[in-house]
Amino acid sequence: MKKDHYTRLEKMYLAAPINDYYNPIIDITEGKSEIEIEVKEDFFHAAKAVHGSVYFKMLDDAAFFAANSVVIDVFLLTATFETKFLRPIASGKLISKGQLLQDFGNKLEANSRLFSKEGTLIATGKGIFVKSKTLLKTIDSYKI
């Protein structure tokens, strides 16, 4: 049952129209997720490094799916998310790893870390995710 939930979340994530642009790979397990994308020059700001919006997306997505991995009935929403930028990156792969920290019932806390393919820590994030009224079973891309 849980493995089916993880697979459905992965399919839902990959089906989101925005991910056609990023072309990510995702793996979800109990309280954890890992997302990987290849850096493209399209992601750069004027100083030729990856824009912070990409860092935020990778961190938020990883923490979000770590949290939603333990919620099997509804879609979560990001309520707050704090991002710490540690260093720039301009090539290679970005790998975000999310982990559920606490489940308070209607809200969950999760963190994430963003790495280069060599394992260098690029950024960190931490957020609160709340349960929405949207049932997962009503989302077409969640259905198998």
Model-level pTM greater than 0.95? Answer: yes
pLDDT computed for residue 37 by the predictor:
98
| Per-residue b or e along 34-70, where b marks 16 or more CB atoms closer than 10 Å to that residue's CB | bbbbebeeebeeeeeebeeebbbbbbbbbbbbbbbbe
* Average model confidence (pLDDT) across the chain: 97
Q: Tell me: the pLDDT tens digits for 38-69? A: 999 999 999 999 999 999 999 999 999 999 99
The answer, yes or no, to whether residue 18 has pLDDT greater than 90, is yes
pLDDT at 144: 72
Query: What pLDDT shows up at residue 15?
Result: 98
Angle at 88 between CA 85 and CA 92, to 5 degrees: 120
2-142 fold: Thiol Ester Dehydrase; Chain A (3.10.129)
